[in-house]
Amino acid sequence: MTDARDAPRNPDALLRRAGVRGNPDRDQHFLVDDRVLDRLPDYAEEADFDLSHVLEIGPGTGALTDRLLGVADEVTVIERDRDLAAFLREEFADEIAAGRLTVVSGDALDVELPDFTACISNLPYGVSSEITFRLLPRGKPTLLMFQKEFAERMAADVGTDDYGRLSVSAQHYADVEVVEPVPKEAFSPPPEVESAIVRTTPRAPDYEVEDEAFFLRFVKAVFTQRRKTLRNAIRNTGHISGLDDADAPVAAIAEGKTELDPDVLGKRAGKIPPETFAALATVAAEYGLDGGENG
């Protein structure tokens, strides 16, 4: 078998052999820039990713798959397009026979994910958020292609214009780093937006949350009213966060019943770091849910 790292398959030739063209209406934009394709495994190796079993979502015609086989012991790809999945099984028949590649035909939001050690993918942008938040709780490093705006929001620091729900939620699970912007011309057909490669390195947050699902829901709720003060944002979004009494946690903070400084209620969500959101969520659950201090 030819070493994929020494002789990578040409992405344009793969498209021709597959007999396909990208379809923007189906969120298909194939990564065809050899330089970007070659750098993706490098970004994983320089961060010491465990590449014993790499997961790739949305492999298309296999240009990135080919590079991953050059550095990984085993690769599993999940492709929702049945025709492309069939092409991959034919194109990479030798690698499949050798037990180094598994092709799963299905939707990455529905199929059972393998026990992977890292995920490296050019994600379908239309479902990139849903897929990302299926991956991050698994606690494995990822190297993912996103729309540039989405990538910058994931990695944003508190107090910046891009900081928001996505920043807090993603950084709850991992350190997030934008490692390279990618131009439209790197894809066939070119998308309407610029792209970027994001590397996530899993780590435990430096704060505690008792109910992770409620924490993430609370963050989502408050950021729907990011221009409001936290006092009003918490009160106005109980139907989103699931609070039974959204006034109670605000009153508890204002009256000094918690460890939070009451002044926090006058701030806005974009100025609040993740650890403060965690403390706010804890108070919200304690005083605002049935069965808590207010129940």
Full pLDDT tens readout for the chain, 295 residues: 344 446 799 999 999 999 988 776 666 789 999 999 999 999 999 999 999 999 999 999 999 999 999 999 999 999 999 999 999 999 999 999 999 999 999 999 999 999 999 999 999 888 999 999 999 999 999 999 999 999 999 999 999 999 999 999 999 999 999 999 999 999 999 999 999 999 999 999 999 999 999 999 999 999 999 999 999 999 999 999 999 999 999 999 999 999 999 999 999 999 999 999 999 999 999 999 985 554 4
Residue 15 assigned ligand-binding role: no
Q: CA 289 to CA 211: how far, in whole Å? A: 12
Q: CA 258 to CA 69: how far, in whole Å? A: 53
- Give the global pTM: 0.92
Residue 58 assigned ligand-binding role: yes
The CATH homologous superfamily to which domain 11-202 belongs is: Vaccinia Virus protein VP39 (3.40.50.150)
SS3 at position 267: coil
- State the burial class of residue 290 (Cβ atoms within 10 Å of its Cβ: 0-12, 13-18, 19+): exposed
List the strands of the sheet with 101-105, edge to edge. Answer: 101-105, 74-79, 53-57, 118-122, 142-147, 195-202, 174-182
Class of the 212-288 domain? mainly alpha
Determine the Cα angle at 133 with ends 237 and 115, to 5°. Answer: 150
Domain borders along the chain are 11-202, 212-288
User: Phi and psi for 229 in degrees, rounded to 5?
Assistant: -70, 160
Residue 239 assigned ligand-binding role: no
